[in-house]
Structure 1
Amino acid sequence: MLNAFQHHINQNFPFLQHHRCLLAVSGGIDSMVLVALCRQLDWTVGVAHCNFGLRGAESDEDEIFVREYCRENRIPFFVNRFNTAVFAEEKGLSIQMTARQLRYDWFETLRVREGYDYVLTAHQADDVLETFLINLTRGTGWDGLTGIPAQNGTIVRPLLPFSRSTIENYAAEYLISWREDSSNGNSYYQRNALRHEVVPVLKSMNPALLENFQKTLSYLQETKTLADWAVAHFLEQHLSQHGNEFHLAIHPLNSVPSSRALLYYWLRNYGFTAWEDIYQLPYAETGKQVLAPDFILFKNRTHLVLAARHEPRLAVYTIDRTQLHLNFPLKLTFCNVSDIQNVSSSTIFVDADLLEYPLTLRKWQEGDLFHPFGLQGTKKLSKFFKDEKFSLTDKERQWLLCSGNKIVWVIGQRADDRFKVTEQTQTILKITLSE
């Protein structure tokens, strides 16, 4: 497995070998094998362990096991103890969803604070199959059928091509110890029921199940890529922005083979749930509308119009640390880079460690001050607008990206000097405005 893992890294994630990686380690066999593989390749790693406190003493024993392993092997160890059940009740989420949110939020905070470049998790091929089957039974679209992504921003899953049996054989060969989660044997949970009762039957019917499934997954991913390209191409041609509204032409929409799918992929991230009403909207009378918590979609003669439900001057949008894209009311992308290139009015580079999350996107307010990039001291935003000969409409349309009560960027105009990249900067964040 070691040679196969090295080949996989060389082919797909060569950058990992030259960066600091934070490993998410539960103490189970998958994560302990991931640690062992990284150590054999002599990577610079640290270990992050989540104690969700859901199994009493067993959870604490898992923590002790991982801690002792890291101490013996001189690996930096980080732990967070969560009151998961209380948090789940407060947020109205399932325990599983709560644990997922808690761990990924903490991983990102820890990665930035401790100077790691990537977070590695130990998801493997059987996990992907189980997730596929779970989503299939619940009813899903492309996203639920195309598997767990191998990389999502700074999250990387390098064990996805390897089966559970391959990992078990490696652990046996190298005498790797691990902790067995007692809840894994409880078929009350859907994933465990699939793992113990359904997948073994499928494998007995076809011993090459995982290999064939990965081929199918590859075909689905390629088809999804094509579908995503087609949707993006259509929207680029027929979706236009007018101030704070987006207008989609109805006639070309009705000419595509599956307008329902196109509407879904355009609007899926805006909080809408009344999909049948949306699908009928192109054929409804002018003025017909569908509401989401923060947005409204309505028909205006020859177009569908998407707009925020709140008065634009008062609208405030938040951007989490892990968010790589913002699609409304502006299109912003965020990514870490190693150096500064191609600075323009639509692209800025800032010191990521100086930012306070969540970032906010809002309109300007009377009394706003900022430190124009390259200049000494503060300047009133109203004076900046006057100097730049902004019209009243220009001022009303101007958006600000803010960190706490500080302006990071008068978007499309001028960055704030307080967040500039210096020789002391460790993490450079590139922020881009797209049309």
Structure 2
Amino acid sequence: MELGGDISSKKFLLAVSGGADSMVLASLFKIGDLKFEIAHINYHFRDEDSNLDKKIVEDFCKKNDIKFHLKDISEEEKSKMKSLQNWAREVRYDFFFNLLVKENLDFIVTAHHLNDELETFIINLSRGSGIKGLSGIPKNENRILRPLLSFSKSEIYAFAEENKIDFREDKSNQKDDYLRNKIRNQIVPKMEEVFPNFLEKFGESLGYLDTVNRFFQEEIQKTFDEIFVEGNESEFTLNKTILLKKHKTIIIEIIRKLGFTGIEIEKIMSAENGKFFRSSTHEITIKRKEIFCKKRN
């Protein structure tokens, strides 16, 4: 496994849970003699198992003289939780980004892999995502690096076994309590049963989609720059006349960026002067030659 790129001068914060993927990630950084620290969050959702996860990560850091950062989630913090997965993600990345600043580090590194890509693809496909949502988890975005995206879970397990890397299994992943777990435990095994090389071919297709998406996003940005009339991030005006002369796919993606989906996009494209629309992120008013956009609080 190669991480690639000129990264010897950078300092990294690795998100390590104690599972096979993140422990392999930490071992790779150690083998590569890179400058890194490790962050672990103990949510205390699984009683003693959660503490054992913390211990295996902490022991790895002590053994290899790596700075260890721990966030212990209190019962009070958990009482504020509404959606478990969204809340956990918010807590996680708040912790990581605060550490970037405090420790003067360059990047956060996570251990997402090809199986995560497939699960995310299926979820986004079911939600009617555009090409951006179907082109994979970003390898490098907002100071977050994901160097293991090209590797399958089975390859990571094989690497851990071959190199005698200690890790712990999260037994909650075997439960079908969440959509992602249902996809992981029920749908993906069936796909691999029917198509033995499915994951490998999926990775190739995803690479192609990512290339197309990067080209497409460049074209969308060019169009947005062309139709931007005036304003700022909170309120701005777009040239409706120029926009509606573009290819329908470009028009749809521009409007999608304003938080609209499905039939709403079609209505906006044919809306008359004075019509008003509201999405989860924006409010827009259709003028004769322009579209006035206002970001919602």
Q: Conserved in 2, the CA contact under 8 Å of 1:21 and 1:45? A: yes
Show the counterpart of 2:84: 95
**What SS does the aligned partner of 2:102 have?**
helix
Show the counterpart of 1:49: 40
Superimposed CA distance per residue, residues 61-118 of structure 1 (whole angstroms, 9 cap, x where no aligned partner): 21122112211221111100124632323xxxx2111111111111010111012211
Aligned-pair identity (%): 33
Correspondence for 1:35 among 23, 26, 30: 26
Q: CA deviation at 1:216?
A: 0.9
Whole-angstrom distance in 2 between the partners of 1:201 and 1:274? 31
Show the counterpart of 1:204: 193
Structure that is richer in strand per residue = 1
Structure that is richer in helix per residue = 2
Q: Conserved in 2, the CA contact under 8 Å of 1:278 and 1:290? A: no
Q: CA deviation at 1:120?
A: 1.0
TM-score by structure 2 length?
0.89
Correspondence for 1:128 among 97, 114, 117: 117
TM-score by structure 1 length?
0.62
Question: Larger Rg: 1 or 2?
Answer: 1
Show the counterpart of 2:93: 104
1:60 aligns with 2:51: yes
Show the counterpart of 2:14: 23
Cα separation, partners in 2 of 1:81 and 1:263, compared to 1, 3 Å: farther
Superimposed CA distance per residue, residues 357-384 of structure 1 (whole angstroms, 9 cap, x where no aligned partner): xxxxxxxxxxxxxxxxxxxxxxxxxxxx
**What SS does the aligned partner of 2:81 have?**
helix
Matches within 5 A, 1:163-242: 163-241=152-230
Q: CA deviation at 1:149?
A: 0.8
Show the counterpart of 1:266: 254
Higher RCO, 1 or 2 (CA under 8 Å, sep at least 6)?
Answer: 2
Matches within 5 A, 1:298-317: 298-307=285-294
Q: Conserved in 2, the CA contact under 8 Å of 1:263 and 1:279? A: no
Cα separation, partners in 2 of 1:280 and 1:100, compared to 1, 3 Å: same
Show the counterpart of 2:267: 280
Q: Conserved in 2, the CA contact under 8 Å of 1:23 and 1:120? A: yes
**What SS does the aligned partner of 2:8 have?**
helix
1:253 aligns with 2:243: yes
Correspondence for 1:74 among 41, 62, 65: 65
Q: Conserved in 2, the CA contact under 8 Å of 1:274 and 1:290? A: no
Q: CA RMSD in A?
A: 2.4
Q: CA deviation at 1:215?
A: 1.4
**What SS does the aligned partner of 1:16 have?**
coil
Q: Which runs of 5+ in 2 are unaligned?
A: none
Q: CA deviation at 1:170?
A: 1.2
Q: Conserved in 2, the CA contact under 8 Å of 1:250 and 1:282? A: no
Whole-angstrom distance in 2 between the partners of 1:202 and 1:165? 15
Q: Conserved in 2, the CA contact under 8 Å of 1:282 and 1:304? A: no
Q: CA deviation at 1:264?
A: 4.7
Cα separation, partners in 2 of 1:45 and 1:229, compared to 1, 3 Å: closer
1:148 aligns with 2:137: yes
Q: One-letter code of the match for 1:46?
A: E
